Amino acid sequence: MHQFRKLAPRKRHVGSSPASSAMIKFFKKTKKTPENLKEILEHLRRLEESNKKVARDLENFKKHSKKTLQKVGMVRFNPFKEMGGEQSFVVALLDADNNGFVISSLYGQESSRVYAKPIANGGSSYSLSKEEEEAVTKAMGNNYERSN
């Protein structure tokens, strides 16, 4: 029979783990505090440059995000009387200027069909079904608050 030695429990000091020393380093100040007027002015100049860069980046982001798909409207329906379960649907995907497209999927017993139509300024050059118009209206209603 083997004899097992009982190991003494390791003592752990608070703050001695590698993770805690990394946390301390993370929160530790690495830059010295400005001590005279010249250093304070230089520090403020760097902050102002940084602030201007952030403002430019934010404006650039706003401009580009207007063109992303950000509004969604969906309608489920039954296109045929003999079918149940509302397995057909229309999805409208629009950007901030109400440009985008609708995708319609018509499910039938014999076949399924999928259609796509472009949307410009909330309307289409193609005729829209009642359900497609409803999906576009719902999407245009999903306008999220945006500060100017």
> Could you report the per-residue pLDDT of 10-35, keeping only the tens digit for each?
655 555 566 666 656 666 656 677 77
- Tell me the pairing of strands 112-119 and 88-94: unpaired
Please give the DSSP secondary-structure letter assigned to residue 85: S
Residue 40 reports pLDDT greater than 90: no
pTM reported for the whole predicted model: 0.60
- Burial of 140 per CB tally in 10 Å (0-12, 13-18, 19+): middle
Percentage helix, strand, coil, to 5, in the chain?
A: 35, 20, 45
